[in-house]
Structure 1
Amino acid sequence: MFGSLRERNYRLFASGQIVSLIGTWMQRVAQDWLVLELSGRSPVALGIAAALQFLPTLGLSLWAGVLADRMDKRRLLMLLQASMGLCALALGLLDVTGLAQLWQVYLFCFVLGCFSAVETPVRQSFVVEMVGKAQVTNAVALNSMTFNMARIVGPAIAGIMITLIGTGWVFLVNFASFAAVLAGLALMDAAKLHRATPAPRERGQLLEGLRYVRGRPDLVMLMVLVFLVSTFGMTFFTTLAVAAANVFGQGADGYGLLSTMLAVGTLTGATLAARRSTRGRPRLRLLFGGALVFGVLEILLGLMPTYLSFGLMLIPIGAALMTFTTTANSTVQLAVSPQMRGRVMGLYMLVFLGGNPIGGPMTGWLAEQFGGRAPFIAGGLVSLVATVGCALLLVRRGGVTVPRPRWLRARG
């Protein structure tokens, strides 16, 4: 189940990541709450903040994939992580001194989004260099476990800290947490990385990557499905804060608890994915099944009558969501040639995160016009329809085979 941890470089990376990610999740909760405080609890303001943080993905993630194929990923990650830490420091200092204004938070959302848009495809494509192709599915699942362990701890700590001492110190703690991941990257043995031959610096490399994906019907449908589910269904950064504050009348600690409940589910899903990774390559049927269950459960989430039932429903939703996302990520990583991995992962992160500038304001508008439950019901319906539609199209184009029932095989 933990085969990828045999690699020392990956152990250094994972241990640094869990500390840094706890800080990152603390900042996400604090940032959302600060926006709500500065805007008079406006769902639209929260949607704008989410859009600004993910908007740079549209313009930068594809080029980040090109950089990942050309450059030393480890050194590039160190530079990007340090820059993200400085953003946390600057926002924290503004907040603790009482100078923070809404436009400043918006500005830092955008700047941090620029660094994150480049860092994410580089980090995703760096996984296979740390562990090798044989362990990449396991490493992707363990990354998700690390991410979601931090997602459990971070929001809970942030909710308590915000209640006791305010949001500013949460940003400063996140700044300090970046030291862990930088130390892990610095201590790696570069000679033991499983590096592919870097792509030469040539014109047209970005278009070459897009043509590569266009020629693969399975990748095209996977990207379409990931875009629709992530844009309209995976909007929890905006919707959970709105549900906590405007639907159930909770404070920052109540929002932090909802985030933790979702993380319990996603951690469970990531653990199951790590166990499945020992059985071979991921399957498209698991991908579509996870997306289908997620859509149904999200509709039910929007109908939950109490804060307790709403929070408990987040656990199976998180498990289904993680089944879908880890299967999609590892499928893409294993399906492409090493020389194309950075560019394809850049496109993957574009469709995975690039819809947030649409989804963030849209969910804020839905919540303001129709109530805080509306984004969950709408997101679940879109995810459900998208899953069924993409599965049928892929079957028609021959990208996946539907097994015949046993009684038919016996007669044939």
Structure 2
Amino acid sequence: MNHTNQTETRITAHIRRTFRSLQHRNYRLWFFGQMISLFGTWMQSAAQGFFIFKLTNSVFYLGLVGFMTGLPFWLFTLYGGVISDRFPRRSVLLVTQTSMMTLALILALLTFSGVIKPWHILILSFLLGVANAFDTPARHAFVADLVPKEDLGNAVALNSTMFNISVIVGPVLAGLIYAILGPAWCFLLNGTSFLAVIAALSLMRVEYSISRRRGSAVEEVLSGLSYLKKRRDLLGIIATAGAISLFGLAFTYIVPAWAVKILNGDAATNGLLQAARGLGALITALALASTISLVGKRGRLLEAGALLLPISIVAFSFSRSLHSSLMTIMLTGVFHVLAINIALGLLQDLSADEFRGRVSSVYSLIYFGLMPLGSICIGWLASRAGEPNAVLISGALLLISTLAILKLFPELSSVE
């Protein structure tokens, strides 16, 4: 075999290893249906952030929208985990995705009609959070229903790839469509994009692994918490993700204000910043999809991502040009996905089948529940100390909290 053929063989093997979960029909349907839907989700997210800032001229309101979206996670996510373990996850996802489609179409209708007010967006954000509180545990646990255990790590990494492709494409499309047609079209396109994932779910044939126990919801929540209490490895992973959520994602809520006030830009600038962060995340997700099965102690990669993320956030706080902002925010995407992708893969791998939905719900409660606290705090801080100081403080707090968690859970470094 000549050198060219050997190179081609290695490249082909590398591609097959990277995308091996796509050989499974159900996962393939999920991957492409969800990716199309996520294009719309991120289109709306970017457009809505810029739209609400233009409506209110308030960076605090940006944080308030994030708070309203995340608040339902505190109220409903643990019960979402029980639902995920009790009922077929495909059915749960069909209900939640249809609900989110309806909310997007209502937002589009209000905006097209010209009657939209900031409080409408707050209410719709809260209702979206309710749907997400039930959707997220089911969505995370659903991956294990779509692929065999040996491909689970790869599937989680490809999920992240799919997510971050949409993070790149969605905001860029939002910037263009917002500038040309206005925000209502972004919201309408998001609503229609849900049809892709709803169709994909409808076409699946899934063998369900659900809990046969039929105790009360409270009993099943307590049973899941009791299981988790005995698993310090899972607790350490969730604590690390919680610190990232509280301090490491807060700055993303004020990116629209950063684009306008620090960079003197517009909706397109906001889209570029969001897309740059997504590009860094996508590169890392693809690398993990290819190499995750070869990694030994994944806990060490989790620690590395969790420690490098706050450093990149601090670097972003000192950027004052579009070029430096794009470079540093891209690094935040790299290290965020490195940490969270590893965390999600470990949680799915290490959790017992009968508790996977409830473990996912605790993760979702912590990860998504802390987001609104971080968003409203950074919005308040930015309104008083300025955006750069707010980002700097959040990065410093993330570094301190991560070091404390790694000290408290030294076993994380040996998790495989």
User: Which category describes the TM-score, using the shorter chain as reference length?
Assistant: over 0.9
* 1:106-121 superposed matches below 5 A: 106-121=122-137
Conserved 8 A contact 1:229-1:386: no
Conserved 8 A contact 1:265-1:316: yes
User: Distance in 2 between the 1:200 and 1:47 partners?
Assistant: 40
Which amino acid is 1:200 matched to? R
The partner residue of 1:208 within 198, 216, 223 is: 223
Q: Is residue 374 of structure 1 aligned with residue 389 of structure 2?
A: yes
Q: Is residue 4 of structure 1 aligned with residue 21 of structure 2?
A: yes
Q: Is residue 32 of structure 1 aligned with residue 49 of structure 2?
A: yes
Aligned to 1:328: 343
Q: Is residue 63 of structure 1 aligned with residue 79 of structure 2?
A: yes
Return 276-285 or 156-165, whichever deviates more. 276-285
User: Distance in 1 between the 2:99 and 2:251 partners?
Assistant: 26
Which amino acid is 2:222 matched to? L
Aligned to 1:254: 269
User: Distance in 2 between the 1:366 and 1:390 partners?
Assistant: 25
Which amino acid is 1:358 matched to? L
User: Distance in 1 between the 2:297 and 2:30 partners?
Assistant: 24
The partner residue of 1:149 within 136, 151, 165 is: 165
Aligned to 1:405: none
Give structure 1 regions of 4+ aligned residues with deviation exceeding 4 angstroms: 398-402
- Could you tell me how far 1:236 is from its partner in structure 2? 4.1
- Could you tell me how far 1:200 is from its partner in structure 2? 1.4
Q: Is residue 94 of structure 1 aligned with residue 107 of structure 2?
A: no
Aligned residues: 396
User: Distance in 1 between the 2:261 and 2:87 partners?
Assistant: 46
The partner residue of 2:356 within 331, 334, 341 is: 341
Deviations 1:158-201 (A, max 9, x none): 001111111011100111101100111111123xx3x3242311
Structure-1-length-normalised TM-score: 0.93
SS in 2 for 1:355: helix
User: Distance in 2 between the 1:24 and 1:260 partners?
Assistant: 14
Aligned to 1:199: 212
Conserved 8 A contact 2:35-2:166: yes
User: Distance in 2 between the 1:10 and 1:246 partners?
Assistant: 42
Conserved 8 A contact 1:265-1:317: yes
Which amino acid is 1:53 matched to? T
- Could you tell me how far 1:219 is from its partner in structure 2? 1.6
SS in 2 for 1:278: helix
- Could you tell me how far 1:149 is from its partner in structure 2? 0.4
Conserved 8 A contact 1:68-1:343: yes
Structure-2-length-normalised TM-score: 0.93
Which amino acid is 1:68 matched to? S
SS in 2 for 1:201: coil
Aligned to 2:15: none
Conserved 8 A contact 1:20-1:181: yes
User: Distance in 2 between the 1:225 and 1:322 partners?
Assistant: 13
User: Distance in 1 between the 2:251 and 2:19 partners?
Assistant: 29
Conserved 8 A contact 2:299-2:412: no
* 1:6-405 superposed matches below 5 A: 6-39=23-56, 41-190=57-206, 193=207, 195-203=208-216, 204-279=219-294, 283-395=298-410, 400-401=413-414
User: Distance in 2 between the 1:139 and 1:214 partners?
Assistant: 27
- Could you tell me how far 1:133 is from its partner in structure 2? 1.5
Percent sequence identity over aligned pairs = 33
Question: Which residues of structure 2 form unaligned runs of 5+?
Answer: 1-17
Which amino acid is 1:21 matched to? L
Deviations 1:105-162 (A, max 9, x none): 1110011111011101101000000012211111110000000001111100100111
SS in 1 for 2:265: coil
Q: 1:374 to 1:212 in 2, by over 3 A?
A: same
SS in 1 for 2:154: helix
Q: 1:155 to 1:33 in 2, by over 3 A?
A: same
- Could you tell me how far 1:282 is from its partner in structure 2? 5.8
SS in 1 for 2:135: helix
User: Distance in 2 between the 1:107 and 1:380 partners?
Assistant: 30
User: Distance in 2 between the 1:199 and 1:62 partners?
Assistant: 18
Conserved 8 A contact 2:154-2:293: yes
Deviations 1:349-382 (A, max 9, x none): 1111101221111010111111111232122112
